[in-house]
Chain A
Amino acid sequence: MRQRHLAACGLCAGMLLTAPLQASAHVIAGARVFPVTLTFDDPGVSDEASLPAFTYVRNGADGGTGPTHEVDLGWEYDKTITPDTALIFNDGYDIQQVNGSKTQSGFENIYATGKWQAYTNADHEFVTSLGIIREIGGSGTDHTGADHYGSTAPTGYFGKGFGDLPIGMLRPLAVTGELGYTIADKEVKEIEQPAAASSPFTDGVAAQYNNGNSNAWAGAFSIQYSIPYLRSQVEDLGLPGFLGNMVPLVEFTWTSPASAHASQGATWTAAPGVIYLAQWGEIGLEALVPLNKATGTTVGAVGLVHFFFDDLFPNTIIGHPIFQ
């Protein structure tokens, strides 16, 4: 029973790590370009698409039915409605392979996000946005873990570049982050209380729960060092084009259940990596390092190819807001 519970926890953690990437929106605030982060959403809106994003995680090595290898191929489309508002759609296709078992595959639930870039300060390279993320329950495949019930998550985003610092070599630094609260359509509740064994020859009764989900807090934070910013704003060191377009960064993501009967504890993940930032889009690659046991025990990876439609197709409806 405990082994099964551990395996279930591992699978849940894997699903958290491979949930549809909320990456979107390369945002420009003054001289600062905030590239698309790989594990959470960016602080603004833009016309763009991720195709594909991939995530690999391995779980369950500490017991249960054996290691689970999970690959998620994700995609995302961002469409600006006005210059400050956008609709974002995420989905993914999961391939789960458990040693000794048949490989399972299926779609994740679709996520739709409405987002408003509420405030942009070009001089101080600051931007903040508000959004509502809606998970459409039942839109994915049951046997790969897509939930029958959806959720709604009001979320806030911010980005701040440090171009106003007096120390030149620190000016390419920037931070971005988000904080949201996920409200489950059907919250997990206890439907039958546990009972002790009535005699030495009988078993007790375990607590019974409905098949709902936990509400949860989710936050994320990134620290970035933009070589393009260094090259164009601080000092041109003559780096070759490839190196001159790199943005090394580390992302941290955190989730914490907020319901009384949640089956899993808080998860923490660090994702160090690098983004190659081009005019047409970007390519990113990061390691997924679980920071506690509830998150997992082995290092995964996440990659992204992202296209900036506003740069690729600026004169078409796909590249600019529907309402200018």
Chain B
Amino acid sequence: MSTRHSKLMLSLALAGLACSGGVARAHAFLKHANPAVGSTGPAPREVVIEFTEGVEPAFSTIAVTDAGGASVTAGAAHLAGSDARLAVALRPLAPGSYRVIWHATATDTHKTQGSFTFTVAR
């Protein structure tokens, strides 16, 4: 019995070693955002999201809507300084609550999504 288990574990370990070349990351999650998640402050000119992994800008989006559901973005999301930072420009924002909805496709094609709100103070 123990021989059988030892062979199984050895096989798994060898398989792991054989496949371990080129260790990469996946699943891009939100690491930080500006404006910060749930924050209240002055009107931002853009939304910048820093992800835990690099993303493909062609398959990643940021939508920002006001309390009535109208889009307030000015253009498409684009990389900002690194492949893990995605940004989108905003129109001038009036005081109120805004929702950010993002979809990210990591460089290895794993998809993630999320949303948060921020508030522009009066």
List A residues at the B interface (Cβ < 8 Å): 28, 30-31, 33, 75, 77, 91, 106-107, 122, 139-141, 168, 228, 231-236, 279, 310-319
Contacts and interface: CB of A to CB of B under 8 A. Distances in A.
Q: Provide the main secondary structure of the chain B interface.
A: loop
Top 10 A-B residue pairs of the complex, sorted by shortest distance between their CB atoms: A235-B38, A31-B114, A232-B30, A314-B108, A314-B26, A318-B19, A236-B37, A316-B19, A311-B26, A236-B36
B1 A107 contact: yes
A182 B110 CA distance: 36
A233 B115 contact: yes
12 contacts: A31-B112, A31-B114, A232-B37, A233-B116, A234-B37, A234-B116, A279-B29, A310-B110, A311-B27, A313-B23, A314-B25, A316-B21
Nearest to B36: A236
Contacts of A233: 30, 37, 114-116
B110 A236 contact: no
A30 B26 contact: no
Contacts of B39: 235-236
B10 interface: no
A168 B38 contact: yes
B113 A30 contact: yes
B91 interface: no
Contact of A318 (B15, B53, B112, B116): B15
B19 A311 contact: no
Contacts of B1: 106-107, 139-141
